[in-house]
Amino acid sequence: MQTTWNGKPYFPISEVYKQRFGTKVIKIPVSVAETCPNREGIRGMKTCIFCDVHGSFAYPESQGDDLKDQIVRHRAKLAERYNAAKFLVYFQAYTTTFKQLGVLKQGFETALSFDDVVGCVVGTRPDTLSEAVLKFWQEQAEKTYVSIELGVQSFDDDQLIWMRRGHTAAQSIKGIERVAKAGLDTGIHLIFGWPTENDKQIIETARLCNDLPITNVKLHNLHVLKQTPLEPMFHEGTFKPVELDLYSERVGLFLDHLSPKIAVHRLAALSTRREELIAPAWTADKMKTFQGIIDRVNAQGSHQGRLFR
């Protein structure tokens, strides 16, 4: 059994990209959407408790800018930082598939007009997948690489209600199956650090990932940003983020039970805007956080697929 991938105790998505494209590939986050079902009050819902005013976009200073300008600007920074020559354009902010198929189509056309862009990645909700959207992605996948990342966050309905997601675990599963049935690379986002979270839930989540047609997963730690519903909860003492050690322990537990065939994007979230981070402080330090998680995972003898069955 393989226990490390280039020294990492998990199968990194970078390996998938290298195998497919023959070189290092970096994602360029962009924003073309302006809202989501929750912000629009669909079904009486309100903003998710963790979502900031930027719709979880990595580069809010560029929000509203022309897409081509966003790509050019961020590509230059990422190329220098990571020494990369190929890129995927990542439609990240808000819900790109919410009433905006025309915007999405134009976004793909613009993104793929760049010679060094080898595909597109779309982050969206599992309950906003129209047949028209899926058909468009299928058509694009015949010509280029297309990957869909669904914001599942949790497979526990009580946790989904607590975070005000406005969809159920069953809807997430259906969304995953529909994307995979369309022949698309199917990823999900998961958040660890809920108040009622326990080891059993972590294990069950990993096993459910194994049973579903998921090709990749991205892990986030629940953290508190300014101007989010979590902010007053933190100040009132009704929510306390998990410490790095406990979070790392649960990441290791998740990896132990996760199929070694499912690629992992990252092990934790990073607050790209430190001035907006309230807690926990460790979320602000990317390298320290990553190394802390790796050290704990290694110390407890964990690695992806160790207890996979």
The answer to whether residue 111 scores a pLDDT higher than 80 is yes
| CATH class of domain segment(s) 13-299 | alpha beta
Of the pLDDT bands very low, low, confident and very high (cuts 50, 70, 90), residue 270 is: confident
CA nearest 97: which of 180, 51, 40, 37? Answer: 37
- E strand map for the chain: 25-30, 86-91, 117-124, 145-153, 185-192, 216-221, 224-225, 263-264, 277-279
User: Dihedral of the CA atoms 58, 30, 45, 197 (nearest 10)?
Assistant: -40
Rounded to an integer, what is the distance from CA 156 to the centroid of its chain? Answer: 18
Q: Over the stretch 215-266, which tens digit does the pLDDT of each residue have? A: 999 999 999 998 888 999 999 999 999 999 999 999 999 999 999 999 999 9
* CA gap 56, 236 in Å, rounded: 24
The answer to whether residue 34 scores a pLDDT higher than 70 is no
Q: Over the stretch 37-79, which tens digit does the pLDDT of each residue have? A: 555 445 555 577 887 755 444 455 555 578 899 899 999 989 9
* CA gap 105, 110 in Å, rounded: 9
User: Dihedral of the CA atoms 146, 29, 255, 15 (nearest 10)?
Assistant: 60
Give the chain's end-to-end CA distance (angstroms, integer). 12
Burial (CB < 10 A; 0-12, 13-18, 19+), residue 287, is exposed
Q: What is the pLDDT of residue 151?
A: 92
The answer to whether residue 114 scores a pLDDT higher than 90 is yes
The answer to whether residue 17 scores a pLDDT higher than 90 is yes
Average pLDDT score, the chain: 89
The model's pTM: 0.91
Which is more confidently placed, 60 or 189? 189
Spell out the domain ranges in the chain.
Answer: 13-299
Q: What is the pLDDT of residue 55?
A: 43
Q: Over the stretch 153-181, which tens digit does the pLDDT of each residue have? A: 999 999 999 888 878 999 999 999 999 99
Of the pLDDT bands very low, low, confident and very high (cuts 50, 70, 90), residue 94 is: low
